[in-house]
Amino acid sequence: MSRVSISEVNGMSEEQFQWVFKNVIELCQDAAEQVKKCRPFRDIAELCTAFHKYLDNLCLEEKLVILKLHPDLAGRLASQGELTKESTEEQQSAGLDKLTLIQKRMIDICNERYKEKFGFPFIICARENKVQSIINGLQTRYNNTKEQEIEIGINEVKKICKLRILDIIKEN
Ligand SMILES: NC(=O)N[C@H]1NC(=O)NC1=O
């Protein structure tokens, strides 16, 4: 899809807007449904802020739902080629499609241990990381409290969301 300008975003029909932004938060179409009502946007920053505010305004239970919508990094869906297009590209950009057997095993074990403790998957903005920083994150963040990890996880979702929006919109 070629990139669109912010004025084109403002002029989209509701259906177009929902279709274009349906996955800027992984598998959460409700975000686009709510954010479309905040138009017009002056620039990309305002549009990003609207999606970020959507996340901030969710209650704790709803934040947990958002976190749980994310696929594991280098997990089963990735091996089966069943990730969303966005997630596939992000995981590739971090090098998660080229893991050594030892790295894969390490990530699998850490992902399972993390999910067992917190009840949702470990989330990190893959495009801002490489394999080693992801493994480090999996190990250090495991020591956090659930409250800390919900906050960090939602912040990572915001970073992922912003980069996905930048892929859609052209700067003037
Ligand atoms: N688990 C997890 O972090 N998943 C995500 N991270 C990212 O950059 N894209 C995703 O799908």
- Give which of 42, 138, 35 is closest to 94, Cα–Cα: 138
Query: For the chain, first and last CA: distance in Å?
Result: 17
**Beta-bridge mates of residue 4:** 169
State ipTM.
0.99
Which residues carry out catalysis? 70
In the chain, the amino acid numbered 58 is: L
Ligand 1, atom nearest to 72 Cα: 1
Q: Give CA angle at 26 (22, 32), nearest 5°.
A: 30
| Closest alpha carbon to 29 in 39, 20, 41 | 20
71 Cβ inside 6 Å of ligand 1: yes
Q: Which of 124, 57, 67 is nearest to 90 (CA)?
A: 124
Ligand 1 within 6 A of CB of 75: no
CATH superfamily of 72-156: Oxo-4-hydroxy-4-carboxy-5-ureidoimidazoline decarboxylase (1.10.3330.10)
- pLDDT at residue 171 in the model: 78
Question: Which ligand 1 atom lies nearest to the CA of residue 84?
Answer: 11
Per-residue confidence (pLDDT) for residue 155, from 0 to 100: 98
- For 112, other C-beta atoms within 10 Å of its C-beta total 13
Residuewise pLDDT in 10s, the chain (172 residues): 789 999 999 999 999 999 999 999 999 999 999 999 999 999 999 999 999 999 999 999 999 999 999 999 999 999 999 999 999 999 999 999 999 999 999 999 999 999 999 999 999 999 999 999 999 999 999 999 999 999 999 999 999 999 999 999 987 6
Please report, as a single letter, which amino acid is at residue 108.
D
Name the residue with tokens 């903005």: 125
